[in-house]
Each structure stands twice: as C-alpha cells, then as structure tokens.
Chain A
Amino acid sequence: MLPDNKQAVTRRLAGCLVWAAVAGLSLWPVLIAAASPYIVGRSAVYIAAGLAGALSLALLFVQPLLAAGLLPGLTGLHGRRWHRVAGFLIVAAVAVHIGGLYITSPPDALDALLLVSPTPFSIYGVAAMWGLVLTVVLVAFRKHLRLRPLAWRIIHNALVAGVVATSVAHALLIEGTMGSLSKIVLCSCAVLTTAAVTLYLRVIKPRRKREALAQKAHGTASDLSARS
C-alpha cells in the first residue's frame, strides 16, 4: 500500500516538474517581450502583433509534445485533442501577428508578403505562413483528400518540419522585443521536440509495435506447436 502511494506521489511530482519546465520555457520569452523597453511608443496593435508572434513560437514547442502524449495528464487521445486545439491557437496567433503588422505598417507588411522586403528574415516568416496555410488545408480536408493515413502523416510531418525550421530562422534573425537568450532557448526547444517526436512517432514506435507483433505471432506459433 505504502510503496504504491509513494510511487503515485513521485509520479505526480515529476508531472508537476515537467509542466513547470514546459510552461517556463515557453512563457519566459513571451514575458520578456511583454516587458521589453522597445515597446515604448508602439501602438497596442503592434505590441499585440509582436506578442502573438512570440506566443505562436512557444506553441510550436508544445505542439509535438501534445501529439506524442508526452505531457503528464494529457496522454493518448487527450494529448491529440489538445494537439488540435493548440493547432487552432497557432493559426489564430499567426493571423493576429500578420494582421497586426499590416495595421501597424501596411507598406512594410505588403513588402514582406510580396517577397520584396529589405529585411531578409521576412521571407522565412512568409514561407512559414504558407506552410501553415497548407497544413490547415491538409487538416481541414483530411477526409476529402482521401490520402492513405501513412501518406497524410508524412505530408503533415514534412510541412510541419518546414514551418518550424522557417519560423525559427524568422525569429532568430529579428531584432525585436524578445530577449536573445530566451529566444535561442525556445527556438532550440521547438526544433528538438519536433525532430525527436517525429522520430519517435514515425520510426521508433512503429518498429516497437512491429517487434511486439512479431513476438506475439512467434509466441502463438510455438504454443500451437507445443500443443500438437
């Protein structure tokens, strides 16, 4: 009884630590951006646009953890349901980001969208936006597209890898309100979790499943031979 209880408490504590780490890593740069001295003189719309950009970067880090069900309390189906919610939030945050920038300075935003901006990082941002648009199409028309599940997953993962890579390049090259250290740490987290989870869900987990199945088949076969 006691060891069981002890185990549950330890698990709970570990869960809290994981959540604290994830929340800290994702919200730290957003809070730094909110407290930045550069927002002096900026309009509320511009401030909101910048924060929405930082928030969507933070969500890119959490998103793979939800897909793999790695966050304590959000495993399996729960994780995937929140993966979908976080997907909506990313799209909403990016819409606020681009819309807010457009309201703040239409010529600068148009230059970026038309790929004629003097700022090299905007090209990465626009590439990430189109990657996100394609991902939305892929998710929204999942049934209509009639792709085989494996094909759908490969396209989804490839698009998302592109979105994360271009978003990170976009964020790192910008001189803005996010702190350099917290920005680099968050970008690294997003890249690492995306890569690790893709590898885990698409390579390691299926292989384990195959091996388990093979072992099971082998087991039943030997059972049968023993019986006969």
Chain B
Amino acid sequence: MKAPAYNRRSFLIGAGLCSASLIRPPLGLVSAANAATGVAPTASMRGGSNNYSPNAPLVDNLGKGFWVSGTVRKAGGGEPLSNVRIQIWAATERGGEREPSNHGSVLTAADGTFRLEMSQILPNFGQPHAHLAYDDGAFKTVFLRPVMGSRSDTSVQAHFVLASA
C-alpha cells in the first residue's frame, strides 16, 4: 500500500509552519500587540538619556553635512504629530556629547516629520550614534539612541511612536 503524498500529518505540519512564519519576523504579518492596540509605543533605548541636558534650544542647524531625521506618531492610531519638540545631541567634530553647541531642538512638521542638519557625527564610546529625546509632558518621555550602520554615513534616522502620559 502506498501512503498518499497529501495526508493529515503533512497538512498539519504545513499549516503549523505557515502560521509560524506569519507571526515571527521577518514577515510578522500577524502580531498580537498590533491586533489589540494598533501601533505600539516606542520604548526608550538603553543609554538613550546619557549626557542629556533638558530644554535644548530650538536651532536652525548644529553645523553642516550630516542629517538627523525621523517621524513622530501617536500610539494606537499612528496619526502623525505636528509641532512636537524633539531634542537631539551627539558627539561631532566640534566636541563631545556634553558640548553645549552639539545640543539642539527641532519641531515636527504637519506630517509628523523632523530633520536637523548638524556636523558629522563621529564614533563615540565605541559606536557612531546620535541621541534623541521627547521629554515635554504631553506624552510619555522617550529617549532614543540610533547607531549609524557605518561611521562614514552622513545621516541617521529615528522614529517615535508616543503614548499619552
């Protein structure tokens, strides 16, 4: 007797693998958190608040040649948030992370995007990285610390999803 190529066992294994691939990364099409609450809020990163000095002044730029950009959205619905202050600081050619002229703030545009031109970010404490903060009370405080893929990159991105305070 020949076993059929398609039977209950092969169906169950196939179905199990398919559903596993839907839930797990890289696909991750079905997420328990997404299904329940929509867009999940961004968690603060380790070391994100290092050398933070509150209330960095609003600036046009912090130098030339390097761009820090990103988006700010609201947790749940994911709508873009405008006029939100994002504070940015990093170690550059002009000094370390504690150098005051390496700290500045920008406001998000109507579409929730922000960008700030600054001096080239250099490797600091072993990784070329920037620091970004939302710390204004209307939403929960978030500190991000994106690392550049390469030390010769001339831009870095960071995205905020903020939860109501």
Spell out A's residues near B (CB within 8 Å).
38, 40-43, 46, 101, 104-105, 107-108, 111, 116-119, 121-122, 173-177
Which A residues lie within 8 Å of B164 (CB)? none
Which B residues lie within 8 Å of A173 (CB)? 126
Question: Complex Cα distance A101/B125, Å?
Answer: 8
Which B residues lie within 8 Å of A122 (CB)? 126
Main secondary structure of the interface of A (DSSP, over half): loop
Pairs A–B under 8 Å by Cβ, sample size 24: A38-B123, A38-B151, A40-B93, A40-B122, A41-B93, A41-B95, A41-B122, A42-B96, A43-B96, A46-B96, A105-B50, A105-B51, A105-B98, A105-B124, A107-B47, A107-B49, A108-B125, A111-B47, A116-B46, A117-B47, A118-B47, A121-B126, A173-B126, A175-B126
Which B residues lie within 8 Å of A41 (CB)? 91-96, 99, 122
Among B25-50, those with CB < 8 Å from A are: 45-50
B128 at the interface (CB under 8 A from A): yes
Which A residues lie within 8 Å of B125 (CB)? 101, 105, 108, 119
Main secondary structure of the interface of B (DSSP, over half): loop
Chain B's interface size range is 20 to 34
Q: Are A111 and B50 in contact (CB under 8 A)?
A: yes
CB distance from B132 to the nearest CB of A (A): 14
Q: Are B50 and A108 in contact (CB under 8 A)?
A: yes
Question: Complex Cα distance A121/B145, Å?
Answer: 16
Picked from A40, A104, A108, A175, the residue with its CB within 8 Å of the CB of B128 is A175
Q: Are B123 and A176 in contact (CB under 8 A)?
A: yes
B127 at the interface (CB under 8 A from A): yes
Question: Complex Cα distance A119/B123, Å?
Answer: 12
Closest B residue to A46 using CB positions = B96
Picked from B96, B127, B128, the residue with its CB within 8 Å of the CB of A105 is B96
Which A residues lie within 8 Å of B96 (CB)? 41-43, 46, 104-105
| Binary flags per residue of B68-109, CB closer than 8 Å to A gives 1, else 0 | 000000000000000000000001111111110000000000
